[in-house]
Amino acid sequence: MSAGRWTMSSNWAILLAIQLLLLACDGGGAGPVADATATDAVAGDAGSGPLARNPVTRRLWVLDTVKFTRQDPVGIAPGWNLDGKVSDEKDDASCGKPDFKSPAGVDGIDNQFAVLVPIIEKTGIAAFESLLQASVESGGVLLMVELEGIDDLRNDPEVKVTIRAGQGVPLLGTDGKVLTGQTFHVNKRDPATPCGKGALKDGVVDIGPFDIDLPIQVFGKEYTLEMRTGHVRFHVIDAQRIDGGLVGGGITLSSIGKIAKTAAEDQGNIDDIVQSLTGGMGDLAKDATGTCTQLSAVLSFSGVSAFFYPYEITQTTKN
Amino acid sequence: MILHPYSPIVARPAPRRRGLVAVARGFSHREPTATAALFSVILGLTACEKPDPPVAAPAALQPAPATLPRLTRALYDNTIRDVLGPDLALPATLEPDVAFEHLLTVGSAVAKVSPRGVELYEEAARSLAAQVAGKPERLAKLLPCTPTGAGDAPCLRQFVQTVGEQLWRRPLTDGEVTAIAALGGKAGATLGTFAQSAEFALAALLQAPAFVYRPEHGEADPKHPGGKRLNAVELAAKLAYFLWNGPPDAALRAAAADKTLHDAKVLAGQVSRMLSDPKAHRAVRGFASEWLQLQEVLKLNKDPKVYKHFSSDLGGSAKEETLRLVEFLVFDKDGDFRELLTTRSTFVDRRLAAIYEVPANQELGHAAVQLPTDNERRGLLGQVSFLALAAHPVSSSPTLRGAFVRRHLLCDHVPDPPANLNTAIPEPSPDAKTLRQRLTAHMNVPGCSSCHKALDPIGFAFERFDGIGRFRTKDNGEPIDSSGELDGVPFANLDGFAAAIANSPKFYKCLTRKLYAYAVARPTTDGEASQIAQLAETFAKSGMRVQVLLRAIATSDGFARIATEAK
């Protein structure tokens, strides 16, 4: 396999990851069955310390780890029931793609990308996930989740969730991870994508569904990513950390195809690779021709506290 | 090159200090002896239990003997930059500064120069002179004349006179000019260029004792018959090194030359002029660096496995933060300096902002921020420069933090633990999980209790900040109790402690004493107690304005007068 093919395939995976993470909401379809117990986050201490004494109204966390989710063991994968159905191989609506069961035992989890991940790994491009993490640590993928209207970081009947894009090079700690508490510029092109409101229950917020048509830029190329019935969930450990994060939804195969075609202008074989990997993998949104037009996917993440520079600083800074 | 060598000069012994403590400290800082070691052990066991016995201080100033401070590294560098140019490569190594009474400048009056130190001064002189002479435009800026050729002796004499006066902070005698010009001229004649004449002459100037040291011979004091004072030239140099951290400029030298500097109005005018000069910021930063031990912050060493926010440049960032705050309070605000302990204003870069969990206000460098009110961090004692310095590489340390506060902010005497004392504290146990609980158990150990009881209750105020200065609420899984007491005044946490220490008269009196010692560049004596008390009173009455204190010290009798003979 050529180095170019390896790199572009990995880039494609990163694009997919970004698509999953950058979510904008304009309402959604039928409400899914949430698997609120799927995260394995450790109970935190958001109820003590300064947060308990002085409620804050807004908190921002930058994602410091991003990973693709897998089935483990076979048939078990995290995510949401995006289409409200429990599908098996015989389900025509999901194009014969069986759903998963969540780690907590919830049926109907849509996460077809979990099937794709080991296939990608077997093709010899397993390092794509390392590349994704490296992009997080170098600022290439600088994504934040923001909570507004917080009265209590453990239990709050209504908080507003926004996914935000930042700009800048993260300071890394002695462990090589993005440090807590640092400041970034707002990404001027994609400043904010509000996701809606929901409740914080025992530190866990779960928001969705929402759709996104988001332009992103990777290695100087601009792409438009489409995701439908998106969801995001994370656990607020404390003011410094979120963990057990999941973000998922249905990625339109048409947008993946367009991305592959755009990328192929520079890297000839990327189109073929993407088509071979995703062709026939759709499991959502079957159209009139009988084709499932979306691929369900779920990423996991964690985050650490972050801030944005004051507006006027960012405005005078090129990014 | 053959230059008249100078012998390492040993300053006179420090003036008499109070009581047994003073004796042991005096010994231990200079010539360790078995007797001094014994004193140290005894004092280590007992000195924290009670303060020095009160000694009746003279009601009037008894001037201290003149000393012979060496230029500290900061003064050396600033003098070179100010006189020879800001772009010279300064020597990488010189005889290291040694602190006395926790101030490097005071140490410069009592420390020796080693034989290697003499060599280093010579090497530095040669290097600096070569840099000046090797770049025609640099040399041209220093030359008061245009040389007509390699053997232009009159121009070389003028060069030695003008540059020498700036470097030595006094006019050179004819004999000195002749000797140095002759040496330079001989080198130039051999090597064939005027630049090389100037280079060798400059090298001679730079390694002379008159440059490396700050001699004070004094003159008869007409206001105090039978007494002595610094002569005008010496006073000008002392003012400049105190208020500018550098050599006197032409205006100050002129006031010294025409003998008007001792006139109260002229002196006050010069001091005001100097305080309004940007170089005054440099001086205040220099004092703060020494007072708050910021040179040590640059050597911070933390376990990277424990402190993920640590980086090799953290010490520099932390030092700059503290210096910016001091500058802000002294010059921009020119208000109550006790805000140093209580303010929520500070100046952070992106890395410090991350440690403090506050948004940075600019991408590069330090910028002003307000610390949030939802935790206890405030003032100097909430800064990394203090919290990380007074801590261990793997943990916080109430003891080190308490000792820092007592030594540097309250001027209490805190002996180092005796060398043979086991200072290990108990490991965490089910009964003592937090460091506070472990130290409390340690306080009951004979030989440890007296000092720990004086230090730890202060240091507990900072326990909600880890060994690098990050805020925390738990230690080893247990909630942290940061209450304590300062000399009988209880406090609930750092908020309360900052207020308690700011309101303690010991703080402003200590600051006055430190700044005075820094100004006179030698250990203070009992005979100066009344002078220092008077200055502290002036400082307090001004509303704790440091600029007032600087002015008061610079124009005080204690600053300008010297004892008629060394005691």
State the Cα–Cα distance between residues A17 and A132, nearest whole angstrom: 8
Q: B472: distance to nearest CA of chain A, Å?
A: 8
Quick one: average pLDDT of B52-59?
Answer: 63
Residue A198 falls within a domain, yes or no? yes
**Count of the separate structural domains present in chain A:** 1
Residues A166-203 have pLDDT tens digits of 888 999 999 999 999 999 998 876 667 788 899 999 99
Task: Please tell me the predicted confidence (pLDDT) of residue B48.
Answer: 64
Residue A42 falls within a domain, yes or no? no
Residue of A nearest to B312 (CA): A174
Residue A41 falls within a domain, yes or no? no
Least confident of A152-166, B16-30, B98-112: B16-30
- When comparing pLDDT for B20 and B138, which is higher? B138
Q: A44: distance to nearest CA of chain B, Å?
A: 12
Quick one: average pLDDT of A245-252?
Answer: 92
Contact residues on chain B for A166, CB-CB shorter than 8 A: none
Contacts of A45 (CB under 8 A, 6+ apart): A237, A238, B473, B474
- Predicted confidence band of residue B450 (pLDDT cuts 50, 70, 90): confident
Quick one: average pLDDT of B448-461?
Answer: 86
Q: What percent of chain B has pLDDT over 70?
A: 89
Q: Half-sphere exposure of B351 toward its Cβ, with a 13 Å CA cutoff?
A: 22
Interface contact flag, B311 A174, Cβ < 8 Å: yes
Interface contact flag, B353 A308, Cβ < 8 Å: no
Task: Please tell me the predicted confidence (pLDDT) of residue B217.
Answer: 94
B313 lies within 8 A of chain A by CB: no
E strand or H helix at B302, and its extent? none
- When comparing pLDDT for B180 and A221, which is higher? B180
Comparing CB atoms, the residue among A48, A185, A310 nearest residue B473 is: A48
A170 lies within 8 A of chain B by CB: no
Residues B356-374 have pLDDT tens digits of 999 998 888 999 999 988 7
Quick one: average pLDDT of B459-484?
Answer: 92
Contact between residue A223 and residue A217 where contact means Cβ atoms under 8 Å apart? yes
Show which of residues 357-386 on chain B sit within 8 Å of chain A, judged by CB atoms: 357-363, 373-375
Contact residues on chain B for A173, CB-CB shorter than 8 A: 308-309
Q: A312: distance to nearest CA of chain B, Å?
A: 10
Task: Please tell me the predicted confidence (pLDDT) of residue A270.
Answer: 63
Task: Please tell me the predicted confidence (pLDDT) of residue B314.
Answer: 96
Comparing CB atoms, the residue among B304, B350, B474 nearest residue A174 is: B304
Task: Write a three-state SS string for chain A.
Answer: CCHHHHHHHHHHHHHHHHHHHCCCCCCCCCCCECCCCCCCCCCCCCCCCHHHHCCCCEEEEEEEEEEECCCCCCCECCCEECCCCCCCCCCHHHCCCCCEECCCCCCCEECCHHHHHHHHHHHHHCCHHHHHHHHHHHCCCCEEEEEECCCCCCCEEEEEEEEEEEECCCCECCCCCECCCEEEEECCCCCCEEEEEEEEECCEEEEEEEEEEEEEEECCEEEEEEEEEEEEEEEEEECCEEEEEEEEEEEEHHHHHHHHHHHHCCCCCHHHHHHHHHCCCCCEEECCCCCEEEEEEEEEEEEEEEEECCHHHHHCCCC
Interface contact flag, B308 A173, Cβ < 8 Å: yes
Interface contact flag, A308 B355, Cβ < 8 Å: no
Give me the domain span that covers residue A141. 3-33+59-315
Q: How many CB atoms lie within 10 A of CB B141?
A: 11
- Predicted confidence band of residue A292 (pLDDT cuts 50, 70, 90): very high
Interface contact flag, B360 A175, Cβ < 8 Å: no
B16 lies within 8 A of chain A by CB: no
Contacts of B210 (CB under 8 A, 6+ apart): B168, B170, B176
Residue A51 falls within a domain, yes or no? no
Contact between residue B194 and residue B188 where contact means Cβ atoms under 8 Å apart? yes
- When comparing pLDDT for B111 and A124, which is higher? B111
Interface test with B, best of A58, A309, A317, A319 (most B CBs within 10 A): A309
Task: Please tell me the predicted confidence (pLDDT) of residue A128.
Answer: 67
Interface contact flag, A309 B375, Cβ < 8 Å: no
Interface contact flag, A173 B360, Cβ < 8 Å: no
- Predicted confidence band of residue A24 (pLDDT cuts 50, 70, 90): very low
- Predicted confidence band of residue A17 (pLDDT cuts 50, 70, 90): low
Interface contact flag, B358 A181, Cβ < 8 Å: yes
Contact residues on chain B for A171, CB-CB shorter than 8 A: 350-351, 354
Distances (CA, A) of B507 to B100, B341, B501, B547, B549: 20, 10, 7, 17, 14
- When comparing pLDDT for B478 and A55, which is higher? B478
Whole-prediction pTM = 0.84
Task: Please tell me the predicted confidence (pLDDT) of residue A31.
Answer: 38
Contact residues on chain A for B304, CB-CB shorter than 8 A: 174-175
Evaluate if residue A44 carries a pLDDT over 90: no
Q: Which of A92-106, B502-516, B553-567 has the highest mean pLDDT?
A: B502-516
- Predicted confidence band of residue B22 (pLDDT cuts 50, 70, 90): very low
Interface contact flag, A179 B309, Cβ < 8 Å: yes
Q: A128: distance to nearest CA of chain B, Å?
A: 26
Contact between residue B555 and residue B264 where contact means Cβ atoms under 8 Å apart? yes
Task: Please tell me the predicted confidence (pLDDT) of residue B11.
Answer: 34
Interface test with B, best of A179, A184, A238, A319 (most B CBs within 10 A): A179
Evaluate if residue B9 carries a pLDDT over 80: no
Contact residues on chain B for A45, CB-CB shorter than 8 A: 473-474
State the Cα–Cα distance between residues B567 and B69, nearest whole angstrom: 17
Interface test with B, best of A64, A183, A238 (most B CBs within 10 A): A183
Contact residues on chain A for B473, CB-CB shorter than 8 A: 45, 48-50
Contact residues on chain B for A169, CB-CB shorter than 8 A: none
Residues B507-558 have pLDDT tens digits of 999 999 999 999 999 999 999 999 999 999 999 999 999 999 999 999 999 9
Interface test with A, best of B301, B305, B308, B482 (most A CBs within 10 A): B308
Task: Please tell me the predicted confidence (pLDDT) of residue B72.
Answer: 97
Q: B480: distance to nearest CA of chain A, Å?
A: 10
Quick one: average pLDDT of B91-117?
Answer: 94
State the Cα–Cα distance between residues B481 and A22, nearest whole angstrom: 42
Residue A50 falls within a domain, yes or no? no
Residue A48 falls within a domain, yes or no? no
Residues B322-357 have pLDDT tens digits of 999 999 999 999 999 999 999 999 999 999 999 999
Comparing CB atoms, the residue among A50, A54, A309 nearest residue B359 is: A309
Q: What is chain A's mean pLDDT, rounded?
A: 77
- Predicted confidence band of residue A220 (pLDDT cuts 50, 70, 90): low
Comparing CB atoms, the residue among A48, A179, A307 nearest residue B308 is: A179
Q: What is chain B's mean pLDDT, rounded?
A: 88
Interface test with B, best of A171, A175, A305 (most B CBs within 10 A): A171
Interface contact flag, A183 B350, Cβ < 8 Å: yes
Across the A/B interface, how many CB contacts are shorter than 8 Å?
72
Task: Please tell me the predicted confidence (pLDDT) of residue A313.
Answer: 55
As given in the structure block, the two tokens for residue B423 are: 């200072």
Interface contact flag, B358 A240, Cβ < 8 Å: no
B311 lies within 8 A of chain A by CB: yes
Comparing CB atoms, the residue among A177, A182, A239 nearest residue B353 is: A182
Question: Pairing mode, if any, of strands A292-308 and A182-186?
Answer: parallel
Contact residues on chain A for B308, CB-CB shorter than 8 A: 173-175, 177, 179
- Predicted confidence band of residue B37 (pLDDT cuts 50, 70, 90): very low
For the question of an ipTM over 0.90, the answer is no
Domains in chain B: boundaries:
73-212, 288-417+425-503
Least confident of A287-301, B39-53, B176-190, B525-539: B39-53
Q: B350: distance to nearest CA of chain A, Å?
A: 7
B350 lies within 8 A of chain A by CB: yes
State the Cα–Cα distance between residues B404 and B381, nearest whole angstrom: 10
Q: A54: distance to nearest CA of chain B, Å?
A: 6
Interface contact flag, A174 B374, Cβ < 8 Å: no
Task: Please tell me the predicted confidence (pLDDT) of residue B497.
Answer: 95
Tell me how far apart the 2 most distant CA atoms of chain A are, in Å: 58
Residues B134-171 have pLDDT tens digits of 999 999 999 999 999 988 999 999 999 999 999 999 99
